[in-house]
Amino acid sequence: ASAERYKNRDDLLLVEFAEGTRVAGVLTQSRTPGAPVKWCRDVLPGGRARGLVVNAGNANVFTGKAGDAAVRRTAKSAAKILAAPAHEIFIASTGVIGEAVNDGRIIQALPALYDKIGATSWHQGARAIMTTDTFPKGAWRHATIDGARVTIAGIAKGSGMIAPNMATMLAFLFTDARLPVRVLNALLRPANEFSFNSITVDGDTSTSDTCLLFATGQGASHRAVTRAGDKRLGGFRSALGEVMTDLAQQIVRDGEGASKFITITVSGARSPAAARRVALVVGNSPLVKTAIAGEDPNWGRLVMAVGRAGEDVRPEKMVISIGGHKVARGGKRAPGYVEKTVARHMKGKEIEIAIDLAVGSAAATIWSCDLTHKYIDINADYRS
């Protein structure tokens, strides 16, 4: 532990990769990115990785040139320990914004951390990168390429400041398959759109969002793969999507103060992008989220959210359902609507909302959570 912010707990992750490991990534689109994000953006084009260092407690954002220098020193120190070039070391940070990072503590902790590196340290690694998270997040799947079994594993952190616009909060994916960078990128980006870019807790995009996919090639007995469209990658593509969706949903379930998990499906849209935008407006609406927290089937708030999303809709044809029960249809309350029936669904932990815009055939699904008093308590006291 570096004790940069947290006491008596692990707060630092070090991962060592075999020589020849390839890496792809997606990073936050925030216009105020942290120093670690800028470092990753600079070294990602090289496509090679030998190490990963992640610290929790200090985001190293808006820390000026000193923050950039701290990242460089950390990368150089990790590179020395791993006998690797500094530009093959990836850095990520999460925590408070605007406070100077004490990289000396991080650097001092690296040698002892290196001595503890092991193939079974997944749970400890996932726990070390937590901030307001209440549980460590991990997922894995097996897939086959050319009949050879490969593994995809991932860890992630995130609970608040969750409305990704690139990648995730922090997510690190690992596979022993042997895949070139261009294939990794082609697989990662669409999977990201349907997983991490399809969740929201509070509508705030982090300055530190980082998602990296590392392919070591160490367990690969399959023939070379040079194209993302290669049919042999079908199972791998599905497994990668499952791991990323699993991690994304864990983040929503651990949303700060959340008591309910919400699935929002929008259909009948002009395009998948339009459907996703409407779903995210609904999922980010404080009025919708608080109604769900209060177990109030106030479907009028869904009508409001759809209307302000800015996408085409035919109100006279639109259908809104909660828990499979139609609540609005034909521009008014649905015939046969029984509020008590919908209210029973609202008392559950899993809330399902479906909206048909009636203007096209495209659809999208996103995941969100409710907004409770506990969210305010957590964030009002975050720095204390």
Q: Is residue 43 part of a domain?
A: yes
Neighbour count for residue 189 (Cβ, 10 Å) = 17
| Helices (H), ranges, 197-271 | 234-253
Count of the separate structural domains present in the chain: 2
Helix (H) or strand (E) holding 247: helix 234-253
Parallel/antiparallel/unpaired status of strands 261-269 and 170-175: unpaired
Helix (H, G, I), strand (E, B) or coil at 93: strand
Mean pLDDT of 325-342: 96
- Domain co-membership, 363 together with 283: yes
4 found inside a domain = no
Tell me which of 59 and 203 has the higher pLDDT: 59
Domain assignment of residue 7, yes or no: no
- In this structure, of 116-125, 303-312, 329-338, the range with the lowest mean pLDDT score is 116-125
Q: What is the pLDDT of residues 72-91, one digit of tens each?
A: 999 999 999 999 999 999 99
Q: Residue 163 pLDDT > 70, yes or no?
A: no
Give me the percent of the chain exceeding a pLDDT of 70. Answer: 93
> Are residue 106 and residue 236 in the same domain, yes or no?
yes
Last residue of a domain, one of 253, 270, 290: 253
pLDDT digits (tens, 9 = 90+) for 116-160: 998 878 889 999 998 778 889 999 999 999 999 999 999 999 765
One domain, residues 30 and 95: yes
CA atoms within a 13 Å half-sphere pointing along the CA-CB vector of 88: 20
Alpha-carbon 240 to chain mean position: 13
pLDDT in tens, 264-278: 999 999 999 999 999
- Which pLDDT tens digit goes with each residue over 7-66? 666 899 999 999 999 999 999 888 889 999 999 999 999 999 999 999 998 999 999 999
Q: Are residues 168 and 286 in the same domain?
A: no
369 and 267 in a common domain? yes
Pairing mode, strands 350-356 and 319-322: antiparallel
CATH of the domain at 237: 3.60.70.12
Residue 3 lies in a domain: no
Residues catalogued as catalytic: 168
Name the nearest CA neighbour of 203 among 306, 102, 108, 283. Answer: 283
> Is the same domain home to 153 and 127?
yes
Q: What is the mean pLDDT of residues 163-191?
A: 85
**Adjacent-strand bridge partners of 351:** 262
Closest CA to 14 of 75, 96, 102, 71: 75
Q: How far is 123 from 233, CA to CA, in rounded Å?
A: 28
Question: What is the pLDDT averaged over residues 332-352?
Answer: 96
Task: Place 206 in a pLDDT band, splitting at 50, 70 and 90.
Answer: low
Q: In 3D, which of 355, 163, 199, 201 has the Cα closest to residue 275?
A: 355
- 232, 284: one domain: no
Q: What pLDDT, on the 0 to 100 scale, is given for residue 207?
A: 74
Question: Do residues 244 and 290 share a domain?
Answer: no
pLDDT at residue number 5: 55
Instruction: Give 207 or 229, the one with higher predicted confidence.
Output: 229
Please tell me the least confidently modeled range out of 33-37, 64-68, 254-258, 289-293.
254-258
Name the residue with higher pLDDT: 95 or 110. Answer: 110
Both structure tokens of 93: 């940070």
Domain assignment present for 30: yes
DSSP string, 320-359: EEETTEEEEETTEEPTT--HHHHHHHHTSSEEEEEEE-SS
Domain that holds residue 276: 261-380
Which whole number is the average pLDDT over 172-176? 98
Are 19 and 124 in the same domain? yes
Residue 2 lies in a domain: no
* C-alpha distances out from residue 104 to 16, 108, 252, Å: 20, 6, 34
- Return the bridge partners of 355, or none: 266, 320
pLDDT attached to residue 4: 57
Q: Domain with 318 in it: what CATH number? A: 3.10.20.340
Cα–Cα distance for residue pair 60/235, rounded to 1 Å: 38
Q: Which of 257-261, 302-306, 329-333 has the lowest mean pLDDT?
A: 257-261
Residue 89 and residue 195 share a domain: yes
> Quick check: is 312 in a domain?
yes
- Which pLDDT does position 1 carry in this prediction? 58
Same domain assignment for residues 16 and 114: yes
Whether residues 101 and 231 share a domain: the answer is yes
Confidence of residue 166 (pLDDT cuts 50, 70, 90): very low
| Residue 167 placed within a domain | yes
HSE-CB of 187 using CA atoms within 13 angstroms: 36
